């Protein structure tokens, strides 16, 4: 990958700087319930203010609203951002309309304005040129700080970067460097751990990485699709029927022997936190039961492989870690990653939330703010929002 234009390449003193941040955080009753991404965004805002930016204008999406929906307002995020950053945050009443224009124009020198949810605008996801023009009119320069949205060609990522002097934040540069090391020269043995609900979102990275890894450990809901592809019953567990043929071809392919699938599982009588549950070998999962976690034998074998790895990439929990009874597998993998002396990278919102739940968020070498973007980068894909920042850079 060519060198990205960086903050050092951008003149920001006395200028209005639009930052595309990733403030897509979970809310519970209108209150931020996990502020990891907000904390990760604060250093870039501080750096711009310290470099003399006249006003820092921050844009972000939150959730997937259908039009303007107060439930997805960034107002609670503005409050938490100000608390963490220790600065006043002016909350604009819209994304790129007259209220945003007024908020930016009236902001004091060194002030910070948070625009309303970019996905309230119908043109955001289609990179509508009129929205991109409106957003660009709010600033003199642009900084991409949302690595988690770098794989999306949206108006607030690609559109604005095409219209203003633009650069990547230190966070984005660090994200790319951390993942590129795994792509180009991972310390051996190189182990990839994949989990989460569906195999569909991970199939691309499985195909891309399987020839390059020494072991690929698969748990979570996605492992049941692999088990069905191998001819095993999985009861009422989640199965991605549309991907069975592709998964089967992958497992029977030249590198299929590198895949380690859960050999036992915790199964529940129904999908609920207090359901009756038991541990069974995965080849003999009972009818009517649903898999909710990897079992203790799988936990032990996965943990041993992880602890002895030279490098580890982990994306996706091993089970329904949000429920106390079904988090042992995810906790064990988190502890194994934390205990590893190798180069360890963890990505994906649920995976990072699990690390934070277990108090281990500082243990990996790198904790990524991007889930899908990180997976696409490891697949060797070009991320649209990064490609714009490479143009014209030697």
Active-site residue identified among 16, 37, 202, 331: 37
Active-site residue identified among 6, 68, 102, 198: 198
- The answer to whether 63 and 37 are in contact (CB under 8 A) is no
List residues bridging with 366 in a β-sheet.
345
Q: What angle do CA 187, 387, 55 make, to 5 degrees?
A: 105
- Give me 49's structure tokens: 């203010």
Tokens 């200028």 correspond to what residue?
15
Cα→Cα distances 315→4, 6, 290, Å:
25, 27, 22
DSSP H helical ranges for the chain: 36-50, 75-85, 98-106, 129-136, 160-161, 170-184, 203-209, 223-229, 244-252, 296-307, 328-339, 349-357, 372-378, 384-390
- Give me 345's structure tokens: 């990278």
Distance CA 387, CA 334 (A): 33
The question of whether 196 is a catalytic residue gets the answer: no
Residues in Cβ contact with 220 at an 8 Å cutoff, skipping those fewer than 6 apart: 194, 195, 196, 197, 294, 316, 317, 318, 319
Distance CA 84, CA 377 (A): 30
CA 385 to chain centre: 15
Cα→Cα distances 371→22, 179, 183, 221, 319, Å:
12, 12, 16, 17, 17
List residues bridging with 6 in a β-sheet.
168
- The answer to whether 157 and 28 are in contact (CB under 8 A) is no
The question of whether 198 is a catalytic residue gets the answer: yes
The question of whether 212 is a catalytic residue gets the answer: no
Distance CA 96, CA 112 (A): 15
281, 240, 238: which is closest to 262 by C-alpha?
281
Active-site residue identified among 148, 159, 219, 372: 372
Distance CA 279, CA 295 (A): 6
DSSP string covering 70-104: GGG-SHHHHHHHHHHHTS--EE-SSSSSHHHHHHH
Active-site residue identified among 85, 342, 349, 370: 349
The question of whether 231 is a catalytic residue gets the answer: no
Active site residues: 37, 198, 349, 372
């Amino acid at each position: 990958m060519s060198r990205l234009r960086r903050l050092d390449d951008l003149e920001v003193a006395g200028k209005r700087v639009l930052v595309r941040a990733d403030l897509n955080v979970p809310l519970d009753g209108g209150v931020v319930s996990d502020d990891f991404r907000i904390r990760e965004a604060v250093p870039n805002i501080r750096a711009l203010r310290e470099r003399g930016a006249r006003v820092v204008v921050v844009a972000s999406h939150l959730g997937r609203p259908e039009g303007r929906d107060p439930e997805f307002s960034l107002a609670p995020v503005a409050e938490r951002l100000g608390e963490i950053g220790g600065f006043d945050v002016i909350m604009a009443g819209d994304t790129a309309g007259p209220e945003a224009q007024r908020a930016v124009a009236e902001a004091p020198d060194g002030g910070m304005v948070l625009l309303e949810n970019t996905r309230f605008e119908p043109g955001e996801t289609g990179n509508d040129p009129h929205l991109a023009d409106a957003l660009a009119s709010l600033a003199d320069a642009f900084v991409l700080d949302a690595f988690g949205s770098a794989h999306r060609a949206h108006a607030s990522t690609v559109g604005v970067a095409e219209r203003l002097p633009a650069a990547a934040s230190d966070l984005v540069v660090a994200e790319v460097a951390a993942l590129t090391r795994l792509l180009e020269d991972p310390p051996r043995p190189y182990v990839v751990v994949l989990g989460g609900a569906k195999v569909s979102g991970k199939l691309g990275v499985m195909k891309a990485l399987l020839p390059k890894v020494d072991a690929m450990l698969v748990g979570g809901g996605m492992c049941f699709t692999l088990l069905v592809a191998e001819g095993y019953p999985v009861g009422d567990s989640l199965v991605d029927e549309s991907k069975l043929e592709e998964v089967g071809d992958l497992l029977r392919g030249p590198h299929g022997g590198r895949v380690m699938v859960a050999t036992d599982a915790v199964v529940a009588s129904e999908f609920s936190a207090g359901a009756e549950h038991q541990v069974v070998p995965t080849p003999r999962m009972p009818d009517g039961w649903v898999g909710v976690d990897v079992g203790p034998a799988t936990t032990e074998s996965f943990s041993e492989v992880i602890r002895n790895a030279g490098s580890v990439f982990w994306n996706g929990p091993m089970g329904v870690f949000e429920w106390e009874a079904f988090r042992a597998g995810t906790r064990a993998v988190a502890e194994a990653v934390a205990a590893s002396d190798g180069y360890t990278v963890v990505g994906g919102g649920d995976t990072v939330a699990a690390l934070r739940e277990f108090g281990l968020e500082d243990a990996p070498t790198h904790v990524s703010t991007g889930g899908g973007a990180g997976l696409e980068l490891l697949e060797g894909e070009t991320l649209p929002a990064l490609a714009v920042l490479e143009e014209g850079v030697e």
